[in-house]
Amino acid sequence: MGFDKRTLELDGATLVERGIAALREVFPVVAISLRAGSDPELVPSGCEVICDEVPGSPLAGIVSALAHYDAPIFVLAADMPFAERAAIKEVVEAFVDVDVDVALPVVAGHVEPLHAVYGPGCLAPIRRLLAAGNHRIPDLYSQVRVAEVPFTSPALFFSVNTPADLEDARRRLDRDAHDVANRRPAVVAVVGKSGSGKTTLLEKLIPELRALGLRVGAVKHDAHRFDIDVPGKDSWRLGQAGAEAYVVHSPVKLALVMSLPHEASLVDIVLRYFTGFDIVVVEGHKLQSPNKVEVFRLAAGHDEPLCRQDEVLAIVTDSGIARSPKFGLDDGARLARFLAERLDQLRSY
């Protein structure tokens, strides 16, 4: 590019800011590896700074971070603008699940050394390479234990190396924004008899869906009249004065209160208020939801499910009922993956 790529902007954020935002969704500590003498103003607030032991390459940055933390580190290139939480976690889980020194993605036979986990076992081999004047990261892999994590698409690992790459990245963001704006959210309802644990399941399911990189909305059906505003408050008084709809908002929340001549349908609610979401999970709405997962719990005193097998995508239960697909009450992660693999199916309504 001819200058420090970290200062390049995409969608209102620099490349390094985009990378840090992705990493902060997964890790409690985020650091930046810098050559000695680099401009400290390029470092966003809240990031630790680690100066290279040996200047001149990303491999030098890796060994410096390993020496600093004496623990496994996840390494992300500063010019990779489309890093996602789900892919990062998949690589981390591969490192944790297998006794290795490195875990990294492989796409179409090509490895991604700067979207990878490096463990302390890499420290001595890297120092030997650098002492010999060798800064090639792939030359490390023959000296350590490596887990390759297969990915089907190279899009997550796109790097901005030229002005043409930067324009490609901007066009991709424009396309993604257009696709999100015009794509229906997937919808799935969690149904079950009273006391079966629908809310409890959703409390487990929502964070697992978010961990897969999905934007999640939620709808709670209440068969009775409810009021979310406090009588006597200014916003309540606006409604009492005759406003058919009013908004209460703060720097971090917004609530729309609207009077309805008749109950809104689930589809109308989803399409009107959840544009841009990947999936909307619903508590209740057994009759209106096109896609349902039932919670059936013997411990709640129920002796049979609410729905037939052909009415639901899956059942979540503590029983030995002969249903498939079937998940346990604590299988939020498996259920989330099951739903994420069927998002296109769940958008049909």
36 and 121 belong to one structural domain: yes
Mean per-residue pLDDT over the chain, rounded: 86
Domain boundary among 177, 194, 223: 177
- Strands 9-10 vs 13-14: parallel, antiparallel or unpaired: antiparallel
- Cβ neighbors of 14 (< 8 A, separation 6 or more) are 6, 7, 8
193 and 163 belong to one structural domain: no
Q: Which residue has the tokens 């889980």?
A: 93
Quick one: pLDDT at residue 105? Answer: 94
pLDDT over threshold 90, residue 276 = no
103 and 211 belong to one structural domain: no
List pLDDT tens digits, range 5-51.
Answer: 777 887 778 888 888 888 888 898 999 888 776 666 666 677 788 88
With 0-12 CB in 10 A as exposed, 13-18 as middle and 19+ as buried, what is 63? buried
Quick one: pLDDT at residue 204? Answer: 92
Quick one: pLDDT at residue 138? Answer: 94
* Averaged pLDDT, 257-275: 83
Domain boundary among 133, 148, 177: 177
Quick one: pLDDT at residue 178? Answer: 64
Query: Three-class SS string for the chain?
Result: CCCCHHHCEECCEEHHHHHHHHHHCCCCCCEEEECCCCCHHHCCCCCEEEECCCCCCHHHHHHHHHHHHCCCEEEECCCCCCCCHHHHHHHHHHHHHCCCCEEEEEECCEECCCEEEECHHHHHHHHHHHHCCCCCHHHHHHHCCEEEEECCCHHHHCCCCCHHHHHHHHHHHHHHHHHHHHCCCEEEEEECCCCCCHHHHHHHHHHHHHHCCCCEEEEECCCCCCCCCCCCCHHHHHHHCCCCEEEEECCCCEEEEECCCCCCCHHHHHHHHCCCCCEEEEECCCCCCCCEEEEECHHHCCCCCCCCHHHCCEEEECCCCCCCCEECCCCHHHHHHHHHCCHHHHCCC
Nearest to 147 by CA among 111, 123, 176, 114: 111
Quick one: pLDDT at residue 224? Answer: 63
* Averaged pLDDT, 203-221: 89
24 and 112 belong to one structural domain: yes
| 8 Å CB contact between 305 and 321 | yes
pLDDT over threshold 90, residue 217 = yes
Domain boundary among 130, 150, 177: 177
Instruction: Dig out the tokens for 78 from the structure.
Output: 């500063």
* Averaged pLDDT, 290-296: 90
* Averaged pLDDT, 58-82: 93
Beta bridge partners of 217: 280
Instruction: Dig out the tokens for 325 from the structure.
Output: 């697909």
318 and 249 belong to one structural domain: yes
Domain that residue 336 falls in: 183-346
Residue 180 burial (CB count, 10 A): 14
With 0-12 CB in 10 A as exposed, 13-18 as middle and 19+ as buried, what is 71? exposed
Beta bridge partners of 188: 281
Region of 192 (left: φ > 0; alpha: ψ -120 to 50; beta: rest) is left
pLDDT over threshold 70, residue 227 = no
17 and 163 belong to one structural domain: yes
Quick one: pLDDT at residue 348? Answer: 81
Instruction: Dig out the tokens for 32 from the structure.
Output: 């930046």
Instruction: Dig out the tokens for 349 from the structure.
Output: 């309504």
d(CA 9, CA 289): 42
pLDDT over threshold 90, residue 111 = yes
**Residue 161's pLDDT band (boundaries 50, 70, 90)?**
confident
Quick one: pLDDT at residue 264? Answer: 79
12 and 106 belong to one structural domain: yes
246 and 308 belong to one structural domain: yes
Please report how many Cα atoms fall inside a 13 Å half-sphere around the Cα of residue 100, on the Cβ side.
22
How many domains, in total, are found in the chain? 2
| Phi, psi angle pair for 106, to nearest 5° | -135, 130
More confident residue, 262 or 194: 194
pLDDT over threshold 70, residue 122 = yes
Quick one: pLDDT at residue 166? Answer: 86
191 and 170 belong to one structural domain: no
Say if pTM beats, i.e. exceeds, 0.75.
no
10 and 96 belong to one structural domain: yes
252 and 113 belong to one structural domain: no
322 and 269 belong to one structural domain: yes
pLDDT over threshold 80, residue 176 = no
CATH number of the domain bearing residue 86: 3.90.550.10
More confident residue, 271 or 316: 316
| 8 Å CB contact between 96 and 149 | no
Least-confidence region, from 160-169, 171-180, 199-208, 297-306? 171-180
CATH number of the domain bearing residue 306: 3.40.50.300
* Averaged pLDDT, 322-333: 89
